Amino acid sequence: MQALVRKLESQLAALPVAVALRLPGGELVGAANAAVRVLFSDWSGLATLAAGQIGRIAEDYVERRLQIEGRMRDVMAAAAGLLPGSPVASDTSWWTQVLRRTRSLASHTPERDAQQVRFHYDVSDAFYALWLDPRRVYSCAYFAEDTMTLAAAQEAKLDLICRKLMLQPGDRFLDIGAGWGGLLLWAAEHYGVTATGITLSRNQHGHVQRLIEDEGLQGRVQVRLQDYRDLDESEPFDKIASVGMFEHVGQANMPAYFRKVHALLKPGGLVMNHGITAGGTEPGELGAGMGEFISKYIFPGGELLHVSHVLRETAAAGLEMVDTENLRPHYARTLWAWSDALEARLDEARAALAATHGEQDAETVLRAYRLYLSGCAMCFEQGWIALHQILSTHTGARSAYPFRRQYMYR
């Protein structure tokens, strides 16, 4: 055990922030005034920490087997320093890929997808409202100016998507995975489109319906509780957006997903896929236990693919990519804004979750989200994951896309 403690002391000395450990017997390793303190209740956690299994340490925190004290920004700086190497997936064996594809098929039936989406997005509207912007836009913001607030950056992102899609009054616009309605209503109010949104979240569906009624948009905006696979292809749309959606589709279903998008889009129409992509070129989750943590506590069934994989499936479905932009630094900043907002209102967040989950489960959810938001911010900063906006056109007719980018940024 002393050898393990000495190894940890050496690791802690190399970290960018001061970290102290309180051992199960009460002994303190590291400075008493360290920025981050980890309090262990049993010895097994020490070996996990020494091995750099950050995801398992996070699980131990969520399950109250240890305590973590300190700012989330400092905690994540320490976590990145403790990793033994890059956590980006590197197992390219054919058998591993076969297993992943098999699991992907089983995880993404319509029934499983509905359950998995509701597990995350129906946690509590009151909880999400505490740390999202007023429009509850739950995706990467676009900080067009360095001084922008999160709310302004989210509106800038909504407008950037609308401009990239060249939305015009009278366009029939589809939002696949409409969330709490931010893009759907922005497109209708600012660009005069007739908008349809779909979601599998009951909470989001009810919220967007109320917004439509409150703003008198019943004639031009509708939201449906519907799976993308069930959308009617007989009346294709002029423009389509899918924001934060294809992460939930699964590797095995990607070809069918893009074929469906192609069938829903008019020849010459434009589609924007805005989603998280993997840092590694082969399918797989982040290592060091981080992928498992996200799957267990946050996004069951979530699968990230490298942008090259997404582009290949896009092209195979008959969609021509005309513009791709990586907003990775913007998502790191967005996630830190969410994390800071949650950290500032922990007591309110705990109360909001207790109203729907009970006090015990509320604490579990809150701990998981504290680590999820700050941990994802770290992952985007490190380049282990990215965020791509992929604009494509239906190749069945001449597109209105001008093949110049100036129009997007006017």
Q: In which region does residue 127 sit, left (phi positive, over 0), alpha (psi from -120 to 50) or beta (all else)?
A: alpha
376 has catalytic annotation: yes
- State the first-to-last Cα distance of the chain, in angstroms, to the nearest integer: 63
DSSP for 316-374, written as a single string:
HTTEEEEEEEE-HHHHHHHHHHHHHHHHTTHHHHHHHHHHHH-HHHHHHHHHHHHHHHH
Indicate the burial class of 355 (C-beta count within 10 angstroms; 0-12, 13-18, 19 or more): exposed
Where is 403: in which H helix or E strand?
none
Number of other residues whose CB lies within 10 A of the CB of residue 351? 15
> Which among 291, 327, 290, 287 is positioned nearest to 307, based on CA atoms?
327
* DSSP code for 56: H
Can you tell me the distance from the alpha carbon of 121 to that of 298, in angstroms, rounded to the nearest whole number? 9
> How far is the CA of 381 from the CAs of 12, 79, 329, 334, 339, in angstroms?
21, 13, 7, 11, 14
Can you tell me the distance from the alpha carbon of 77 to that of 82, in angstroms, rounded to the nearest whole number? 9
> Which among 134, 126, 123, 122 is positioned nearest to 211, based on CA atoms?
134
- Write out the catalytic residue numbers: 376
